[in-house]
Chain A
Amino acid sequence: GQNIDQPTEMTATEGAIVQINCTYQTSGFNGLFWYQQHAGEAPTFLSYNVLDGLEEKGRFSSFLSRSKGYSYLLLKELQMKDSASYLCAVRDYVSRDTGFQKLVFGTGTRLLVSP
């Protein structure tokens, strides 16, 4: 079956660093995505990992270990506007011809940043 686990909720203070973990068990693996979603809005793309290791993009970094079925999103220098849900999604299947790809989403981690 498909299973993606994330903590339900995390809290942190402004200026701090927070790490959001994601473990997955999917039938296929063609990359892992992290999205940010504010309440009532669409997800916005943060990062994509397909090979093991760390991808850094400004205040956000994402790490992947395929052998462990594990990823994390690291947010540095937290700001109030970072309060949102963070979704981990695995691309389970992709067809390079048709464009079809299936993303399996975790339930998301709700991050609350306090002053």
Chain B
Amino acid sequence: GAVVSQHPSRVICKSGTSVKIECRSLDFQATTMFWYRQFPKQSLMLMATSNEGSKATYEQGVEKDKFLINHASLTLSTLTVTSAHPEDSSFYICSARDVRRSSYEQYFGPGTRLTVT
């Protein structure tokens, strides 16, 4: 149990365009979802956290107008990278937890490799 999927797994887009990444919890209800970014050989950095039906909470230094997060249901969250630039190229990983089930467990999706040309 506790599977998180992401789509797409890889995406290449041109500079200036927008790209949407979906994160789904397949067999549990994700009361809280997290979006991370990981640059090569670096650590995972939390970008934002969202609760279903609420606005996302962004970490310091993350532009909320550039990285749009929508947590529309208990099984789906989307991250839209708007007006993408080459420096946005990274590995984006979502994570989800059901606060009603566990005091700490957080399940990670397989990640999305974004390349902006």
Query: In the complex, which residues of chain A have a beta carbon less than 8 angstroms from the beta carbon of B103?
Result: 96
Q: A96 with B91: in contact, given A42-B111, A43-B44, A87-B44 (CB under 8 Å)?
A: no
How long is the Cα–Cα vector from A45 to B96 in the complex, in angstroms? 13
How long is the Cα–Cα vector from A33 to B102 in the complex, in angstroms? 14
Are A42 and B93 interface neighbours, CB within 8 A?
A: yes
Query: In the complex, which residues of chain A have a beta carbon less than 8 angstroms from the beta carbon of B113?
Result: 40
Query: In the complex, which residues of chain A have a beta carbon less than 8 angstroms from the beta carbon of B31?
Result: 99
How long is the Cα–Cα vector from A42 to B91 in the complex, in angstroms? 10
Are A43 and B104 interface neighbours, CB within 8 A?
A: no
Are B43 and A106 interface neighbours, CB within 8 A?
A: yes
Are B111 and A99 interface neighbours, CB within 8 A?
A: no
Are A101 and B111 interface neighbours, CB within 8 A?
A: no
- Chain B residue nearest in CB terms to A97: B99
Question: Nearest Cβ distance between residue A71 and chain B, in whole angstroms?
Answer: 15
**A interface residue count range (under 10 / 10 to 19 / 20 to 34 / 35 or more):** 20 to 34
Q: Tell yes or no: B78 within 8 A of A by CB.
A: no
Q: Tell yes or no: B106 within 8 A of A by CB.
A: yes
Are B91 and A100 interface neighbours, CB within 8 A?
A: no
Q: A87 with B109: in contact, given A98-B99, A99-B99 (CB under 8 Å)?
A: no
Are A103 and B57 interface neighbours, CB within 8 A?
A: no
Q: Tell yes or no: A107 within 8 A of B by CB.
A: yes
Query: In the complex, which residues of chain B have a beta carbon less than 8 angstroms from the beta carbon of A94?
Result: 104
Query: In the complex, which residues of chain A have a beta carbon less than 8 angstroms from the beta carbon of B107?
Result: 45
22 CB-based A-B contacts, threshold 8 Å: A40-B111, A41-B110, A41-B111, A42-B4, A42-B109, A43-B108, A45-B106, A45-B107, A48-B105, A91-B104, A94-B104, A96-B103, A98-B99, A99-B31, A99-B51, A99-B99, A100-B49, A100-B57, A101-B106, A102-B46, A105-B44, A108-B43
